[in-house]
Structure formats: structure tokens, C-alpha cells
Amino acid sequence: MATLKISLVLVFLVFWTRKKMDLGLGLFICGIALGLTALPWLNVLTTILQSTYKWETIDLLLSLLLIFYFIEIWSTSGGTKNLTTHLNSVLRNSPIALVIPPAIIGLIPIIGGAMVSAPLVKDSQYSKHTSPAKLTFQNYWFRHIWEYCMPTYPGVILSASLLGLSFGQIFMLNFPLTIAAIIAGLVFGLSGIKYDKKERPEKVNMEGMKYFLYAIIPLLVIIVLALVFKVPVYLAIIISIIFMALANKSGLHAMYKMFIKSFSFTIVSVVLGIMSFKAVMENSGIISQMSAEFISWHIPVMLLLFILPFLTALITGLTQPFVAIAFPLLMTYLSNDHSLLTWAYASGYMGVLLSPVHYCLVLTREYFKASWKDVYKILIIPCAIVLATAYVVVKLRG
């Protein structure tokens, strides 16, 4: 019964997003509908209300709004344009400049980090001749190439904890997925993009390198504070914003105008919708019921290791839930054969990347004004390649 309920929710969300309705409102409706099938209406209402003022929600909302504010200040001051201009000179005008910014941002788990690199991709000289869907793919895909194995990501940390493995072991198990993601991303993200080799300089422009490093300082402030000094992301962004305001000698009125311009009610709606939906799913126990149903149907191990993480991730759009919910139910298999983690993790992460409620995908697609259909057309094959790589790796380890 739980499987049927969740299937209906997925169908509804697909229909809802295709009609270009507000995603946050759609998730809110689904949360109420699902909650009422398992909880008293007062419990559903309480769960949703409590989700709106939980620190997790406030942290996410604050980080996203500040990221957009950071982007507006950085762009207005010419930072993003200078960065992409001089990145092109450093990379000798190669199209690879389209995917380097999101790959750099992806080294740390900044919430909504895809929106930090999006303007850098957009400002590239090659973006004018690249479709919105492909720009969305380039930014979104390369932002997420490291989450399979980097020990800074919650999914990796939680996997290591659940299975009693070191970060080094997790890295070795899942690193082939990162390699596959990079190759697939380059093939499908840069195919068809042409450039004039005659305009390519013979040597790296050292002057360009200097200006590139200067332009990237505001971003490095966030990265170093968050990764090295473990400063909360929202606080790291605030410090970087203050740094830019002082460097650019921006007045309070100018800063206020940029904040108003950057503020988005869509972000507020999506965050509240995602967090309320997630809270109802957790409190109602529906995902656990669905997982138990799959196990009771005696599904083959490899298929079970695919379905549970994939569907959990597809529904939530987050890495932590599929690890926290699906992996404990699959512990019998994962504990006996650690190599199966590669398959289970890849399965779950494909659900994350394909989820219509993954806020990086939602925000990046909206930023580049791409259609869902065109984005998924590009996204589906690279996802299949990463999943196929995981399957082959597991079989070779045998």
C-alpha cells in the first residue's frame, strides 16, 4: 500500500512540474495528502508547522538566500565576468572553462552550490552558443561529481559510519563512479561545442592567471572558511559578502537594492515545501513501510539494492535520506560484501540527480530557463553510464 501511495505522489509531481506549477506548493499538497493516510490531521499539521522553524530549514533557507545575494553582489561588481574572462585565458580559451567552475564549487558541500557556479557558466564565451538545457547539465552535473567519494559530504560520512568503514575505504570503493561521471559529463556536456583553434594562445597568460586568482577570492573565502575552519556556510557567505562590500566600497543603499533584487519567493516556497514533505515522510513512516514491502516480495539482491536507494532518493532529492533510510534495511547484504556499496550508492545517487525535487536541479534549470524535458534528455544517459560503471565494478570485484 505504501508503494502505491508513493507511486501516486511521483506521478502527481511529474504532472505538476510539467504544468509549470509552483513546486513548493505541489510538495506541500503531497505532504498533506500522504500524511493524512497515516497520521491524524492534527499530527500532520503539527509536523508541517514544526518543519518550518526547525534549524535545518532555517539554515537551508538562509544559506540559499545568502548565496543568491552573494551571486548578485559578485556579478554586479564584475567578479563573475572577470573570473570567466581570465579563466578562459588561463585555460587558453578551451570549452573546458564551462565545467571547471562547478567542479571547483563541488569540492565542498555548499547547500545550493550549483547556484554559485551557474553565473560563471553563463558568463563563459561559449554559453551564447550553448542551449539552456546543456548549460543546465554542465553546471548541475559537474557540481555533483565528487559526492560519491569525498569525505566532506554527509552521504559518505554516514555510509562510513553505518558500515564501519574508513573514509579511505569508501573513497576506493566509490572513486570509479567519480571517474565515470567526469568522462560522461565531458562527452555529453561538451559535445557539439566548437572553437577556433587559431585563437588559442600558445602559452598560459600569466597576467590572466593573476586576475583570475584575484577574482576568485570571494569564493575562496567561503570555501576555506567552510572546509578548513568548519565555519557554517551561511556565516562564511556573510563574511565574504562583507569582504566584497568593503573592497567595492558599496554603500548601504546599494547593498539593500542588491538584496531586494536577489530575493526570491520561489526559493522560500521550494525550501518550505521540501522540508515539510520530508518531515511528513519521516514521521508517517511511509518510506520504511515501502522498503519493508519490497523486502517481503523477495526481490533479487541487486534489484533490491537498486530500488530502495533509488526510490528513496527520487522522492526526497537528497543523499542523506537514501543512506539513512535504505542502507540500514540493506545492512545484511552491505555488511557481508562491501563492494555492493558501490552499486547501492550509485543507485541512490542516480535518484538524487534525477529527482524533480532536488533543489540544485530545480534552481539551475530555472536559472538557465531550460525545459524539464530537454534537461532530462541530456541527463538520463550519463546517469545510466555511471550506474552501468557501478554494476561492472561490482561484478569485477566479484
Contact present, 352 and 317 (Cβ < 8 Å): yes
Query: Could you tell me how many residues make up the chain?
Result: 398
The model's pLDDT over 28-77, given as tens digits with 9 standing for 90+, comes to 998 899 899 889 999 999 999 999 999 888 988 888 888 889 888 988 88
How would residue 299 be classed by pLDDT, with cut points 50, 70 and 90? confident
What is the maximal distance between C-alpha atoms in the chain? Answer: 70
Pairwise CA distance, residues 36 & 144, whole Å: 35
Which of 234, 283, 241, 272 lies closest to 359 in space, CA to CA? 272
Which of 228 and 35 is assigned the larger pLDDT? 35
Q: Report, as an integer, the average pLDDT of 298-325.
A: 86
Q: Give pLDDT, residue 250.
A: 87
Q: Give pLDDT, residue 195.
A: 62
Q: Report, as an integer, the average pLDDT of 100-118.
A: 78
Cell matching residue 91: 585555460
Q: Report, as an integer, the average pLDDT of 316-333.
A: 81
CA gyration radius, the chain: 21
- Is the predicted pLDDT of residue 89 greater than 70, yes or no? no
CA atoms within 13 A on the CB side of 81: 6
How would residue 296 be classed by pLDDT, with cut points 50, 70 and 90? confident
Q: Give pLDDT, residue 198.
A: 54
The separation between CA 293 and the C-alpha centre of its own chain, rounded to angstroms, equals: 29
The model's pLDDT over 332-373, given as tens digits with 9 standing for 90+, comes to 789 889 999 999 999 999 999 999 888 899 889 989 999 999
- Name the phi and psi angles at 194, rounded to 5: -105, 150
Pairwise CA distance, residues 392 & 396, whole Å: 6
Which of 2, 30, 21 lies closest to 274 in space, CA to CA? 30
Contact present, 315 and 287 (Cβ < 8 Å): yes
Least confident of 55-69, 90-104, 171-185, 305-319: 90-104
Q: Report, as an integer, the average pLDDT of 293-297.
A: 82
Which of 383, 302, 313 lies closest to 6 in space, CA to CA? 313
How would residue 139 be classed by pLDDT, with cut points 50, 70 and 90? very high
At 33 the three-state DSSP class reads helix
How would residue 118 be classed by pLDDT, with cut points 50, 70 and 90? confident
- Is the predicted pLDDT of residue 152 greater than 90, yes or no? no
Q: Give pLDDT, residue 85.
A: 67
Contact present, 274 and 27 (Cβ < 8 Å): yes
The amino acid occupying position 187 is: V
Q: Which of 116-120, 139-143, 354-358 holds the top average pLDDT?
A: 139-143
- Is the predicted pLDDT of residue 158 greater than 70, yes or no? yes
Least confident of 60-69, 173-182, 222-231, 385-394: 222-231
Q: Give pLDDT, residue 258.
A: 94
Q: Report, as an integer, the average pLDDT of 197-222.
A: 72
% residues pLDDT > 70 (the chain): 91
pLDDT, the chain, mean: 85
Pairwise CA distance, residues 55 & 277, whole Å: 16
H helical segments located in 144-251: 154-163, 167-190, 206-215, 217-223, 233-248
- Is the predicted pLDDT of residue 17 greater than 90, yes or no? no
For the beta carbon of residue 396, count every other beta carbon within 10 angstroms. Answer: 9
CB burial of residue 354 (10 Å; 0-12, 13-18, 19+): middle
Least confident of 8-22, 134-148, 283-297, 353-367: 8-22
- Is the predicted pLDDT of residue 329 greater than 80, yes or no? no
Q: Give pLDDT, residue 308.
A: 85
Q: What is the DSSP letter of 128?
A: G
Q: Which residues of 48-87 are buried (b: 16+ CB within 10 A; e: fewer)?
A: beebeeeeebeebbbbbbbbbbbbbbbbbbebbbbbbbbb
- Is the predicted pLDDT of residue 202 greater than 60, yes or no? no
How would residue 92 be classed by pLDDT, with cut points 50, 70 and 90? low
The model's pLDDT over 253-274, given as tens digits with 9 standing for 90+, comes to 999 999 999 898 888 888 898 8
Pairwise CA distance, residues 393 & 345, whole Å: 13
Pairwise CA distance, residues 201 & 208, whole Å: 12
Q: Report, as an integer, the average pLDDT of 160-185.
A: 92
